[in-house]
Structure 1
Amino acid sequence: MTRPHLPKRRLVNSRTIATAVWMFALVMPALGQKLDIEKESVIRSGRADGRHLSTRGFQQYLLRNAQPKLAFDPEFTSDEFAQWQSQVRGKLLELMNFPELVAQPESRRLWIRKREGYVLQKWELYPEPGSVVPFLVLVPNSATPANPAPAIMCIPGSSGTKENLAGEPPLGPAFKPDDRNHDGWLHAQRNQQAVQYARAGFVAVAVDHPGTGELSDLARYRGTTMDDRNTISRYLIDMGRSFIALSVFQKLQILEWLRDQPHVDVDRIAVSGHSLGTEAVLALAVLDPQIQAIVWNDYLAATMERAKASTKPNHRGLRPGANWLGHSVPGLWQWFDYPDLVAAIAPRPLIVTEGGPTHSLNLVRKAYQIAGAADNVSIHYYPQYHDPAKRRDGKPIPEGLSSTEWLDYANVHAAHHYFKGYLAVPWLTGQFQLPDPGEVYPPAPPEAAQTLLK
């Protein structure tokens, strides 16, 4: 039987139909009962016994009643604080579940190139069987075996790469910075941490996140610097590992390599992280007591508090989602949260450049007081929240917030989220007693300049 010929205008591609249905679902409220967003913002039981029928409600109950076993206690004595720090380090090491170290080939230098004021080197490390991790090293001309320089490991924001940290051209067109990419690229020049530190006299090491930049798989074909890192993270978790732990395992070995370099002063080594990079920096600092200073370029808040507060649904009945799985260290909340871990760094010098909820920051300040080093912590807010009168301080952060409302309560101005070299570089040169290098970083924007004068 001959198949009838249908006019082309009547043929509709099935993929087009599926796309249209998907887009319709995004913009239209879900079918069913009418949603009262404000009424449903806070998750309530609705039962006389207070129990929750919904699993999401039960999860909220767990968050409301969670008491991490190794949370920092502001009433610690100095001896109790030191004992607690040791317990935190041991438990975090356990949660990282690092693979056993086995003998691997020596690190290898791939090339060396001259730049103005420093030499750029590319190396590769072999942290475990099957793995190779390239990294860049910027060595100031002043750093020699006779005059070793302080060193710093620089870790980028989520989509940033080691090439951007070093102010170098991207490895391919797909990795070229533009305003379409967020986080690591939107402020590409300001986020060139390694260049800024090298020009200030530091040996600067620039690294990639797993699954990003040169460590990515097919990202270059999709016009992005990142793989599907959620899938990578899920598979790592199923194998008893995690994205953060893999990142930290690799970077700990790069730090060991760094300490063997004759032009590096092993008594003056720091770590600097922006955004996602602060999570690896935090674990590195807790696990490696030889790290002498920490640059935290993000806001600092309790991740459990954020999860508990962020419950306001959108018009489709979806509550704010969790961060992607790369932020997850299984079991972490059972023991401590980020402010607890930052507190465990005391008394080593620490700068926080983008503030956060003041009660979280005060907890860190208290830890430094107990350690007898109150002056070793330097905390700055986003310029928009420099004035205490403009912050939402003094009251607990309520439940029932959207993601955007949470940032407001946390004193965060997301549009100005970038590496604050104008704060971090002068602070660290002062900590390590380097001469004033001048403005080797982009100048403070007008909104920040006013706060620096106060």
Structure 2
Amino acid sequence: MSTSGHETGHAAGPTDRIDRTSWIDLIGARRAVDGSWRLGETEPGPHGSVQRPLHLRSFGTDVTAVLLTPDATSPSAVVVVPFYDTDTLLGRPSPLYPAGRPGPGRDYALRLAARGLGVLAVPWWAELLAEREGPTELSARYGPPAAAHAAQHPGVTGLGRSVADLLLAIDALTETPGVDADRIGTFGHSLGGKHALFLAALDPRIRAAVVHEPGVGFAHSNWQDPWYLGDQVPRHRDLDELTGLISPRPILYAGGGASDGSHNADIAQRAQQHWPDSGFDVLMHNTGHPLPDHVFAACASWLTDHLN
């Protein structure tokens, strides 16, 4: 099934539309010409949920997301969670995060489902195209897929391709039984935080967003890497403008002092000015880049409150 999709839901003025379009053009965040999707068979999922694969075809790559919805008769809110792979999000060992690797859990989709939320776990195209047992260093692992993408799809940045995949996934969600199309949110940590930030800014169908350690400000993270923006990092605009496109929809901006903290508080404050009353919430924990379990619990509660 193929869809073209369109922006809905956010009452935007002319300037807002122009700014959103300019960001879409800047990163090339437009659905691939081969963009299509189909839902797979239903089977029992964790925590009493119903589980279905969502097969996306985008830029010549098959991307299989996993949709979990509560086993209930009424349509549910769904949180879109982009990350490296779906195994990690669902609490299964993966080459990147094998069992026993130290650090907080990254089973975000599993824990959101345990709260009764619907979840769409979406893997990253560059991880799908990387050598499965290859190096874990970023440039060695994702540089080759990014270079191949740039040669095949000029004008579409690596980040633009990621957002295009997510736009296609939202198209599918809005037509899927069991999903409340008016209660779609997004959550992301690190790479997923970058993707969630751009998704929420560029797709008004997202009703609430949580981003943890995305690196707000082009000077404060690796936005110049080829799987993000490469040489398309703009010189005369920054992410306070991009983030402002989410307003008046609510966002929780969270950081641990690595990519996001006191060092980029000024640009976060400029972004916050796009919410003259309320809706831009901040959660800083100053324990580094990983997302501690107790901070994730606070993020999940915030999402539950804003989507339910």
State the TM-score bracket (shorter-chain normalisation): 0.7 to 0.9
Runs of 4+ deviating beyond 6 Å = none
8 A contact 1:140–1:199 mirrored in 2: no
8 A contact 2:159–2:229 mirrored in 1: yes
Change (3 A) 1:344 1:108: closer
Match of 2:98 among 172, 176, 181: 176
8 A contact 2:69–2:78 mirrored in 1: no
1:200 lines up with 2:115 in the alignment: yes
Q: CA deviation at 1:219?
A: 2.4
1:378 alignment partner in structure 2: 281
Question: 2:282 corresponds to which letter in structure 1?
Answer: I
Question: 1:166 corresponds to which letter in structure 2?
Answer: L
Structural RMSD (CA):
2.9
1:166 alignment partner in structure 2: 90
Give me the identity figure in percent: 20
**Cα distance in 2 for residues equivalent to 1:276 and 1:359:** 22
Q: CA deviation at 1:127?
A: 2.7
**Cα distance in 2 for residues equivalent to 1:331 and 1:141:** 44
Q: CA deviation at 1:290?
A: 1.3
**Cα distance in 2 for residues equivalent to 1:167 and 1:100:** 30
Q: Where does structure 2 lack aligned partners over 5 or more consecutive residues?
A: 1-11
Q: The residue matched to 2:66 in structure 1 has which SS?
A: strand
* Greater percentage in strand: 2
Question: 2:58 corresponds to which letter in structure 1?
Answer: P
Q: CA deviation at 1:267?
A: 0.8
**Cα distance in 1 for residues equivalent to 2:70 and 2:90:** 13
8 A contact 1:295–1:350 mirrored in 2: yes
TM-score (norm 2): 0.81
- Range with bigger deviation, 88-97 or 106-115: 106-115
Q: The residue matched to 2:216 in structure 1 has which SS?
A: coil
Q: How does 1:214-229 map to 2 (within 5 A)?
A: 215-220=128-133, 222=134, 224=136, 228-229=141-142
- Structure number with bigger Rg: 1
Q: How does 1:19-418 map to 2 (within 5 A)?
A: 82-98=13-29, 102=33, 106-109=37-40, 112-128=43-59, 130-142=60-72, 144=73, 147-156=74-83, 160-170=84-94, 176-179=98-101, 186-187=102-103, 189=105, 191-212=106-127, 215-220=128-133, 222=134, 224=136, 228-238=141-151, 239-298=154-213, 300-304=215-219, 306=220, 324-328=225-229, 330-354=231-255, 355-356=260-261, 357-369=264-276, 374-383=277-286, 413-414=288-289, 416-417=290-291
Q: The residue matched to 2:125 in structure 1 has which SS?
A: coil
Change (3 A) 1:176 1:82: same
8 A contact 1:110–1:124 mirrored in 2: no
8 A contact 1:150–1:264 mirrored in 2: yes
**Cα distance in 2 for residues equivalent to 1:429 and 1:380:** 16
**Cα distance in 2 for residues equivalent to 1:225 and 1:133:** 23
8 A contact 1:138–1:205 mirrored in 2: yes
Q: CA deviation at 1:100?
A: 6.6
Q: Where does structure 1 lack aligned partners over 5 or more consecutive residues?
A: 1-80, 180-185, 308-320, 385-412, 434-454
Question: 1:197 corresponds to which letter in structure 2?
Answer: L
Q: CA deviation at 1:359?
A: 1.2
The number of aligned residues is 287
**Cα distance in 2 for residues equivalent to 1:85 and 1:302:** 20
**Cα distance in 2 for residues equivalent to 1:109 and 1:218:** 26
Q: The residue matched to 1:90 in structure 2 has which SS?
A: helix
**Cα distance in 2 for residues equivalent to 1:174 and 1:282:** 23
8 A contact 1:121–1:138 mirrored in 2: yes
**Cα distance in 2 for residues equivalent to 1:223 and 1:174:** 10
**Cα distance in 2 for residues equivalent to 1:108 and 1:148:** 16
TM-score (norm 1): 0.57
Residue by residue over 1:148-180, the C-alpha shift from the partner in whole angstroms, topping out at 9 and shown as x without a partner, is 111110012xxx42111122344xx6762443x
Q: CA deviation at 1:99?
A: 6.1
